[in-house]
Amino acid sequence: MSVRRDKSMQRKNPLALIVSCALLSITNFSGNLFAANAPVSFQGKTLTILISSSPGGGTDTAGRLVSQFLPKYLPGNPITVVQNMPGGGGTIANNHFYANAKPDGLTLLQDSSSAIGNMNRGGSRIKYDHRKNRSVGSIARGGSILMVRKELKDSLTDAKSRKLVVGDTDGIRTWVSMTVWSAEYLNWNLRWLYGYKGSRELSLAMRQGEIDLWATSNSRLISDMRKEGFVEMLYQQDEERRADFRDVPTFKEYLGNKKPSGVSWDAYQAWANSEDLDKFIVAPPKTPENVVAALREGFIRMNKDDDFKALATKFFGESWSLNSGEQTEALIKKLTSIPKPAQDFLTQIRKKYGLPAGGPASES
């Protein structure tokens, strides 16, 4: 009876037949990639990796490294295209990706922990929610190392000297937290200058004396500056010293008995610990589970590729590590679940030192 009823309906309504055929065609075209619980294949397709920064920095390097090796471990070995979309500390790319990327596994976002800081600050410019994106994996490069121009080290605590300039892209990078807590608890004489495009511009500004302090995780940049002899390493962000910079104390070691406790330290960790996430890659919300699983498996399989590991060590130093999609998702959840007292403390201390604090009234 139902068959006759369907045929009768189709005779009376040719449009229904056209729509039905069109839907069938879309389903067949999607093939294994989109069908739930079916084997996934990227064969003949193009994978686009959107990078939330300008070329040349750590996020770009991570994205291009992943773009080189991930397709090798995806079923069907897709062609890969890389597209940079810098601006707003990653906000422009994040907003575009969240609003426009189709949940089909063919568009991924290579992002940075700065986007988590932006999201936590909030404000009308933030149109994305990384808790709803589907994490593929992340590369943690090891903690950032804070450098100061050698001739200015003694001026850090000299209230009579000019304020030393801390350079940054957006004023919310995870390592900036160390300088703020140094100003608050070590009485460092600092001001912050942000708006630089990326690591290339900041390293040049450091060499030219335009800024006095800067931190980066980039092992190659740190080593180059050290060899040039014009900077001194002050401390590093990790809980433990990086294997490639064992002579540089951690920030906690540097603070010693001046390390604060309670809500202040909770707020510091909420800001600084995004470094554990570092450079992460995500698929859009509602990407099918089987596609997410294929992307995650391909990402983690890169860790067994000798060529990938050699290049990662060349670019990031000896302390890099790969986090699975599940680990990355858990980190994002943790880093976006800040207790209100710590969040309030963060807002106030950022305002105190003239840094972006979040909310429509304080956006910059």
Q: What are phi and psi of 270, to 5 degrees?
A: -60, -35
What pLDDT sits at residue 229? 96
Mean pLDDT per segment of 10 residues, for the chain of length 364 residues? Answer: 40 43 40 64 97 90 97 97 91 96 97 86 88 96 93 96 95 92 98 91 95 93 94 93 93 97 93 82 97 98 96 88 95 90 93 78 34
What pLDDT sits at residue 200? 86
What pLDDT sits at residue 363? 36
Residue with tokens 């140094």: 182
Between the alpha carbon of residue 152 and those of residues 155, 161, 162, 188, 307, the distances in Å are 5, 10, 10, 12, 41
What pLDDT sits at residue 123? 81
Same fold flag, 46-141+276-335 and 145-273+347-352: yes
What pLDDT sits at residue 194? 93
For domain 46-141+276-335, give the CATH superfamily: Bordetella uptake gene, domain 1 (3.40.190.150)
Contact 108, 328 (CB under 8 A): no
Question: Of 1.10.260.40, 3.10.580.10, 3.40.50.10320, 3.40.190.10, which CATH number belongs to 145-273+347-352?
Answer: 3.40.190.10
What pLDDT sits at residue 101? 97
**C-alpha–C-alpha distance, residues 55 and 224, integer Å:** 19
- Domain extents for the chain? 46-141+276-335, 145-273+347-352
What pLDDT sits at residue 26? 38
Contact 323, 137 (CB under 8 A): yes
Q: How many CA atoms lie within 13 A of 3 on its CB side?
A: 0
What pLDDT sits at residue 318? 84
